[in-house]
């Protein structure tokens, strides 16, 4: 059997197939990340779609990576794959591969990072390098008190000014017991929105 290095494997996993639409899912440290397996599964059901996932370390607290039916990239991958100058830089390879990025959920911390241009993990580096001619969708998810803080509206507006598209959060009883706005949009809503962008994508 032919052996491949970690660097080779990244290139194999991220080969560009022009006949497929590449959806990259970003996961951050909100309890809504527990829906990651369901979201990835439903996205895979869209004809002609390939899916990869980029997760923050905090997001993995809420779901089991082994239950996600696609390749999940972590901060550890970013640093282990690159060992010499000729090796691929993972956040750039992911940026090249993806036709669309959907961050679901986008927690308050990562919202603030992206709005400020901070890129201190794999996901925020992908965002900082993102080709703004391609769609970036974000799904805020946080406690109602955090959602209602004045800085949140400013940061959401900043992301929109970059051309990013909000899939609005919804009101429901949150895991913490509070009731109000701040829950991530339903998975069905996110998938339907992604489908709309795929339909707009030139063949």
Burial of residue 158 (CB within 10 Å: 0-12, 13-18, 19+) is: middle
Burial of 200 (0-12, 13-18, 19+ CB in 10 A): exposed
Name the E strands within 28-161.
49-55, 72-73, 100-106, 136-140
Cβ–Cβ < 8 Å for 77, 52: no
Q: Which of 125, 139, 169, 176 is catalytic?
A: 176
Tokens describing residue 133:
């001619």
Q: Tokens for 189?
A: 């809503």
Per DSSP (E only), the strands in the chain are: 21-27, 49-55, 72-73, 100-106, 136-140, 165-166, 170-173, 179-183
Catalytic, 169? Answer no
Active site (catalytic) residues: 176
């Amino acid at each position: 059997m032919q052996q491949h290095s970690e660097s080779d494997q990244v290139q194999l996993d991220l080969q560009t197939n022009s006949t497929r639409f590449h959806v990259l899912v970003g996961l951050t440290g909100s309890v809504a990340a527990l829906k990651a397996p369901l979201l990835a599964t439903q996205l895979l059901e869209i004809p002609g779609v390939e899916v990869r996932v980029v997760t923050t370390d905090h997001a993995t607290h809420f779901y089991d990576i082994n239950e996600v039916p696609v390749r999940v990239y972590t901060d550890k991958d970013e640093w282990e794959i690159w060992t010499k100058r000729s090796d691929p830089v993972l956040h750039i390879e992911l940026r090249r591969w993806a036709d669309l990025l959907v961050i679901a959920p986008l927690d308050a911390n990562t919202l603030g990072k992206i709005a400020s241009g901070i890129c201190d993990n794999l996901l925020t580096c992908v965002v900082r390098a993102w080709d703004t001619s391609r769609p970036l969708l974000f799904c805020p998810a946080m406690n109602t008190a955090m959602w209602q803080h004045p800085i949140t509206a400013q940061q959401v507006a900043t992301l929109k000014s970059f051309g990013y598209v909000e899939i609005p959060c919804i009101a429901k009883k949150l895991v913490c017991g509070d009731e109000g706005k701040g829950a991530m949009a339903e998975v069905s809503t996110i998938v339907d929105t992604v489908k709309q962008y795929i339909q707009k994508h030139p063949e």
